[in-house]
Structure 1
Amino acid sequence: MIRLANELLPFGEADGKRGATVTTVQGVGLRSERGPVLASIMLSTGLVALDSTILATAVPSIVRDLGGFSQFPWLFSVYLLTQAVTVPLYGKFADSFGRKPLMVFGIVVFLIGSVLCGAAWSMPTLILARAVQGIGAGAVQPMSITMVGDLYTVEERARVQGYVASVWGVASVVGPTLGGLFSQYSSWRLIFFVNLPLGALALWMLARHFTENVPRRPHRVDYPGAALLTAGFTLVILGLLEGGVAWRWQSAPSVVIFVLAAVALIAFFFAERRATEPVLPLWVFGRRVLAGGNLVALTVGALTIGLSSYLPTYVEGVLGTDAVVAGFALAALTLGWPLSASFAGRLYLRIGFRDTALIGGGLVLTGAVLTATLLGTHTPVPAVAGAAFVLGAGLGLFSSPTLVAVQSVVGWARRGVVTGTNMFSRSLGSAVGVAVFGAIANATLADRFAHPPAPVAGRLPDGVDATSLVLGGHAQAEVPAVAGYVRDSLAAATHHVFVSLVVVAVLGTAALLLIPRRTQPLSFDGD
């Protein structure tokens, strides 16, 4: 059993020439005993990775069963929102109480949420259950990455990043395939129950192989900051998703919601300045390498959720395939990511973090442009998968170097905070991104369905739920013209989303310029 003690060594002196901060080990050699711990970390990561990929191909089946196409973005955004707003808390607690208790808590809550999702009887109940899952995932993902940062030096992380990234590669194939198979041949509810044996095994391995000794001291939880952060971004997501659907953009409800969101976020800023132990320390945005890494994570989250949310819907609803084919198309995105991430580990040791990420940014831009220009009403599925693969390969070279750069410039006592903030930024980008993309898609569909051509007028179901007529690989309309118009409308909506991805890719690549070409350890008052 490995025991980690929080005895932080001076940065650059902990491991001789390796020049990275590590924790000391009591009783056993660190190098010989890290394998079982890494295995439990990879399994825990797989818990979140599988759920991230398995749900996307099941959305059309869920919509057909429960209804609420206009609400389906909430399945992603509420999960990502609760994950995002809890990540800073977990990151802060990890530096105070240790990594293991938070990892165990996150896995247990995630499994509870999975059971609730599988038992959901309506779209609102499924959305609430996804919120519970998000609270658990908010601990699992950042704790996994923080523990890797604790156990391995910068040079070793080049290899370990490939191992951890391979989890996403496996999930990229298994997840969409299982989601499509369950949706087409059984029930979409089974996709949530798959988490239970995986989570139980992760808990057992973590309890058996990882023990840490953390000095106890009094702490003050920043409850006002957490409440204001949650309220502010919840209102932002609500306004973006429901604006133009439940009410007009220029209406009083939209104005009130966005004004209240701005007030809450401004109040959060001032609350963090006064807090003794802020949930989201403002210094993480005041250093170039940290600010740049967080902005990149923001765009990575938006890009990932945008493609993974709407690519399966496009492949099924526009191209007329089934859920299994849509799953393989999406698998290309998440397969390219870990492959390039493994290569990124070796590349950034040679040319640096920023230059490696810039190469990834070029690939991300290329993939986004291909997605926006090539995906039409008659695009072959292999071409769709090819564009997704290029974008995924770019994301692997784009995100991994920036994350390691953020972790490498601080010691153990702040690694949880900076990792949590980076994960918060990615989750926030996903949550806001899916809301923005949902608003774009819903607005496009609402406009087209409100002004249909004469042969279709009066034959469309009310609202954007008319898209259910073409989801599932076959038309469910008595009049072929109706299904054709719905399919063309869905093609227009997804095209607008894919064009938005190009804009996000440009912003993400520009954010890389904030990161210095050569990173140095950061100094803090009191160190």
Structure 2
Amino acid sequence: MTNRRTPVVAGLMLSSALSAVDSTMVATAVPSVVRDLGSFSLFPWVIAAYMLTQAVFTPIYGRLADVYGRKPLLIIGMSIFLAGTLLSGLAWNMPVLILARALQGIGAGALQPITQVLAADLYPLHERGRITGLLSSVWGVSALLGPALGGLLSELVSWRWTFLIKIPIGLAAILVIALWLKESVQRRPHRMDILGTLLLMGGVTATMLGLQKELLWLVALGVLLLVAFGWWETRAAEPLIPPWVWRDRVTLGSFLGSLLVGMILIGPAVYLPTFAQAVLGASAVVAGFVLAVQSVGWPLAAGLSSRLYMRIGFRDTALAGLVLIGVSALMFTQLNESSPLYYAGLCTFVNGAGLGLVSSAMLIGAQVGVPQEQRGVVTGGVVFFRIAGGAVGASLLAAVANNSLADRLAGTGYTSIDQASRAVEGGGDEVVRLALAGAVHDVFLALIVLAVLGVLAVLVVPRRFAHRS
């Protein structure tokens, strides 16, 4: 790798910003898109198609980056992402927009894992916490600005510019990476694991769709395909995910820990804004800023993580983060209908700090536990399990929230958090408001359980292990 790291890091920051800002900008453009293209019932697929293809292709890119090099895979992924972005901006009906978003997701699968692998390639161990914190800061700021920028573009120009504005940014990132990033890849014959790729794609797609739609038969089909994928990987000449990653305690613990991080992350992201608006009476903008405080705690903790893991090790740093997450979950449970908004913001700050420590320690620990030529596959695995954890967590916590609400409002006709929150915002009675507060409280109790499970997952990682990269 070249020593001229600054331009390359700028390119990585642009790549991270594109990935982070995409979904949040699209979410605020919903009314404008539906007004123009119609088919409101299809709009959830605009989000789901992107998430599904991103999740499926993340581990694939991670593996291919080890085989063919980081640079070509990042440029290919970014190019596919921009092609999907352009098609999204030009879409003439909702099915075309859904197809374009799926194409975007295929490209986006490269952005997170390969930027993180390149950060590990460029920086020595004692500096990786700082660069991870920097990339996390870009992610947090971009995710925070995304809704405001998307809303402004939709209102003042057109929803199409929520997509088109990203094209020059992406082209600039490609140009910087192409010109300044130098790497040498050992060329040798390779055999693509086609069957493994198809089994993984089918398994992940069926499982995530089944969880989102609460279709048990589809979840069962997905699990069956994933089991078949695991069986095949033990026989493939060059497996997509080598079987050794499951036997290695460092990578296994990192994958499990990342799965729990994804599950924990989704709780406040989905239910805190609902609580702030429907129970505390905050506006949508204020509720968004309360949640955005998490994007302050995360990069700060990630930037400081290197000082911790150089002293106490990766496992104990991750455990310290999980303790903070547990503390934040306890703090969340103290929220009630008379709590001040600044207290809710403090909860999210502590939660973000804990997530920053856990995610950095798990990612960098997995990377240093393997040789450089295997960084891609473990990084792709960490990112994939975080995305998968979000899908599992969303379904699990939705079940907790909706069952709790149904028990509290039995016989009233309210069966979901969405129904109750809309009723409260439309002037619903105090009984519904208090029931909604209780249901979200139960979600926060579930976060404590997830934090404990996270501790058990991280304890799989040995306290000390050899650093091989």
Q: Report whether the alignment pairs 1:501 with 2:447.
A: yes
Mark the CA change 1:348 to 1:123 in structure 2 (over 3 Å): closer, same or farther. farther
Q: Report whether the alignment pairs 1:267 with 2:214.
A: no
1:237 positional shift: 2.3
The equivalent position to 2:349 in structure 1, one of 382, 389, 403, is: 389
Q: Describe the superposition over 1:27-81 as per-residue Cα deviations: whole angstroms up to 9, x where unpaired.
A: xxx43x111111111211111122355566x398689977979985x66655433
Q: Describe the superposition over 1:302-351 as per-residue Cα deviations: whole angstroms up to 9, x where unpaired.
A: 22233223333333344343332122112111111001111112221122
RMSD: 3.5
Match of 2:290 in 1: 329
Instruction: Say which is worse superposed, 302-311 or 81-90, in terms of deviation.
Output: 302-311
Matched residue SS, 1:413: helix
Instruction: Say which is worse superposed, 272-281 or 47-56, in terms of deviation.
Output: 47-56
Structure 2 CA distance, aligned partners of 1:493 and 1:410? Answer: 43
The equivalent position to 1:298 in structure 2, one of 256, 259, 262, is: 259
1:289 positional shift: 0.9
Preserved contact between residue 309 and residue 361 of structure 2 (Cα < 8 Å): yes
Mark the CA change 1:386 to 1:132 in structure 2 (over 3 Å): closer, same or farther. farther
Structure 2 CA distance, aligned partners of 1:221 and 1:201? Answer: 31
1:85 positional shift: 1.9
1:125 positional shift: 6.8
Q: Report whether the alignment pairs 1:51 with 2:18.
A: no
1:218 positional shift: 2.6
Preserved contact between residue 137 and residue 295 of structure 2 (Cα < 8 Å): no
Structure 1 CA distance, aligned partners of 2:32 and 2:402? Answer: 18
TM-score (norm 1): 0.78
Q: Report whether the alignment pairs 1:351 with 2:297.
A: no
**Pairwise mapping of residues 53-452 of structure 1 onto structure 2 (< 5 A)?**
53-54=24-25, 58=28, 72=44, 78-115=49-86, 129-178=100-149, 191-243=162-214, 254-371=215-332, 373-441=333-401, 451-452=411-412
Instruction: Say which is worse superposed, 419-428 or 259-268, in terms of deviation.
Output: 259-268
Q: Describe the superposition over 1:481-509 as per-residue Cα deviations: whole angstroms up to 9, x where unpaired.
A: 47x66655654554443333222222112
Q: Report whether the alignment pairs 1:510 with 2:456.
A: yes
Structure 2 CA distance, aligned partners of 1:146 and 1:175? Answer: 25
Structure 2 CA distance, aligned partners of 1:287 and 1:187? Answer: 50
1:145 positional shift: 0.6
1:259 positional shift: 3.2
Structure 2 CA distance, aligned partners of 1:156 and 1:217? Answer: 32
Structure 1 CA distance, aligned partners of 2:342 and 2:87? Answer: 36
Structure 1 CA distance, aligned partners of 2:327 and 2:466? Answer: 31
Instruction: Say which is worse superposed, 180-189 or 426-435, in terms of deviation.
Output: 180-189
1:388 positional shift: 0.8
Higher helix share: 2
Instruction: Say which is worse superposed, 393-402 or 161-170, in terms of deviation.
Output: 161-170
Letter of the structure 2 residue corresponding to residue 200 of structure 1: L
Instruction: Say which is worse superposed, 139-148 or 227-236, in terms of deviation.
Output: 227-236
Kindly tell me the number of residue pairs found equivalent between the two proteins. 467
Structure 1 CA distance, aligned partners of 2:410 and 2:43? Answer: 19
Preserved contact between residue 84 and residue 427 of structure 1 (Cα < 8 Å): yes
1:467 positional shift: 5.7
1:88 positional shift: 1.7
Q: Describe the superposition over 1:383-425 as per-residue Cα deviations: whole angstroms up to 9, x where unpaired.
A: 2211111100111111102211111122221111111111121
1:465 positional shift: 6.4
Structure 2 CA distance, aligned partners of 1:302 and 1:59? Answer: 26
User: Taking every aligned residue pair, what percent have the same amino acid on both sides?
Assistant: 46
Preserved contact between residue 220 and residue 276 of structure 1 (Cα < 8 Å): yes
Structure 1 CA distance, aligned partners of 2:149 and 2:407? Answer: 35
Structure 2 CA distance, aligned partners of 1:129 and 1:375? Answer: 41
Structure 1 CA distance, aligned partners of 2:352 and 2:390? Answer: 15
Preserved contact between residue 318 and residue 491 of structure 1 (Cα < 8 Å): yes
TM-score (norm 2): 0.87
Structure 2 CA distance, aligned partners of 1:40 and 1:325? Answer: 32
Structure 2 CA distance, aligned partners of 1:120 and 1:465? Answer: 29
Q: Describe the superposition over 1:237-281 as per-residue Cα deviations: whole angstroms up to 9, x where unpaired.
A: 2332223xxxxxxxxxx4533432232122111111111111111
Preserved contact between residue 207 and residue 220 of structure 2 (Cα < 8 Å): no
Matched residue SS, 1:212: coil
Letter of the structure 1 residue corresponding to residue 357 of structure 2: L
Preserved contact between residue 277 and residue 287 of structure 2 (Cα < 8 Å): yes
